């Protein structure tokens, strides 16, 4: 809102536009619309959403008709690489991200989907070697009794390199009854990071992420975490998934879809849009199902 006030005070509304990149929305995460969120939508000239269901539901909720796109949070091309000859040496399952301390009742009530203590403990009990790169030190301190191997908050580039040493990446949330729209409707960062690191994603209780994994065949999905077992059942299909990952990690990158954002800016500014190469346009149609008419160059 402060940015909007500055633009207005400068009388630059026609020259300076406010585009909001909406990674998380309280109306999705916390099931109510705070006043600042409503003001944000009113003040913006365009918005960028993280997934198609969030785009659809938020446009309807906020009656938003200004230019808007969904742009998934891909990794950048070449951010990390791995030696395919060492894939057979990989072992273990890895989770990277935030996790609530089990004794923090307020946080676990507010963000139930991140209450991962019983989930990680169960996955270990089923005979899996589990590693966790926790984004918060409180998880590192309180998840030691799960049987998982814990790592403290780690610099991004270092963490990405370490991920290449594991066999599977975990995208599992505490959402067995599908009550948490934050994971029902969004695509997870970690799935794209696992893809770039050459890991099949094991996903459960996060429907939109599961749909994406199944669409591109880049991992394994389960209706219940107990169905995961000790991952031995995944061996027969592992190479097929890895072959898909080897190809798609070079295509599902931000550089291939950044035209959507560039042409959104062009639409807002009223300038000529970029032409989109045929191969990228075809990939974009397959990825998003449709391409917004106002973003396609004539």
Helix (H) or strand (E) holding 161: helix 156-163
Instruction: List the beta bridge partners of residue 149.
Output: 131
CATH of residue 168's domain is 3.40.50.2000
Helix (H) or strand (E) holding 48: strand 46-49
Residues 53 and 161 in one domain: no
Q: What is the pTM assigned to this prediction? A: 0.94
| Structural domain span for residue 147 | 84-248
> How many domains is the chain partitioned into structurally?
2
In a domain? residue 79: no
For 223-235, write each residue's pLDDT tens digit. Answer: 999 999 999 999 9
Residues 229 and 100 in one domain: yes
Single out the residue of 107, 115, 136 nearest to residue 183, CA to CA: 115
For 277-286, write each residue's pLDDT tens digit. Answer: 999 999 999 9
Residue carrying structure tokens 């409707």: 185
Residues 168 and 284 in one domain: no
Residues 186 and 228 in one domain: yes
In a domain? residue 176: yes
For 104-156, write each residue's pLDDT tens digit. Answer: 999 999 899 999 999 999 999 999 999 999 999 999 999 999 999 999 999 99
């Amino acid at each position: 809102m402060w940015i909007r006030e500055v633009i207005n005070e400068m009388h630059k509304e026609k020259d300076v536009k406010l585009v909001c990149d909406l990674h998380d929305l309280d109306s999705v995460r916390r099931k109510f619309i705070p006043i600042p969120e409503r003001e944000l939508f009113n003040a913006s000239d365009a918005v960028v959403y993280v997934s198609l269901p969030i785009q659809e539901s938020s446009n309807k909720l906020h009656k938003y008709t200004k230019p808007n796109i969904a742009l998934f949070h891909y990794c950048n091309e070449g951010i990390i690489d791995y030696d395919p000859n060492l894939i057979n040496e990989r072992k273990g399952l890895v989770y990277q991200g935030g996790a609530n301390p089990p004794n923090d009742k307020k946080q676990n009530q507010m963000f139930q989907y991140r209450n991962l203590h019983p989930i990680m403990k169960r996955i270990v009990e089923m005979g899996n070697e589990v590693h966790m790169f926790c984004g918060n030190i409180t998880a590192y301190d309180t998840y030691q009794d799960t049987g998982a191997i814990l790592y403290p908050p780690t610099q991004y580039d270092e963490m990405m390199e370490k991920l290449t040493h594991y066999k599977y990446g975990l995208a599992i949330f505490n959402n067995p009854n599908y009550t948490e729209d934050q994971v029902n409707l969004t695509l997870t960062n970690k799935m794209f990071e696992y893809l770039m690191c050459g890991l099949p994603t094991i996903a459960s209780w996060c429907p939109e992420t599961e749909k994406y994994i199944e669409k591109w065949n880049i991992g394994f999905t389960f209706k219940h975490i107990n169905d995961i077992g000790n991952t031995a059942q995944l061996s027969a299909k592992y190479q097929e998934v890895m072959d898909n990952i080897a190809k798609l990690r070079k295509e599902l990158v931000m550089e291939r879809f950044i035209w959507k954002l560039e042409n959104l800016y062009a639409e807002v500014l009223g300038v000529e849009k970029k032409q989109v190469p045929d191969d990228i346009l075809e990939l974009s149609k397959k990825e998003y199902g449709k391409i917004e008419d106002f973003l396609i160059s004539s």
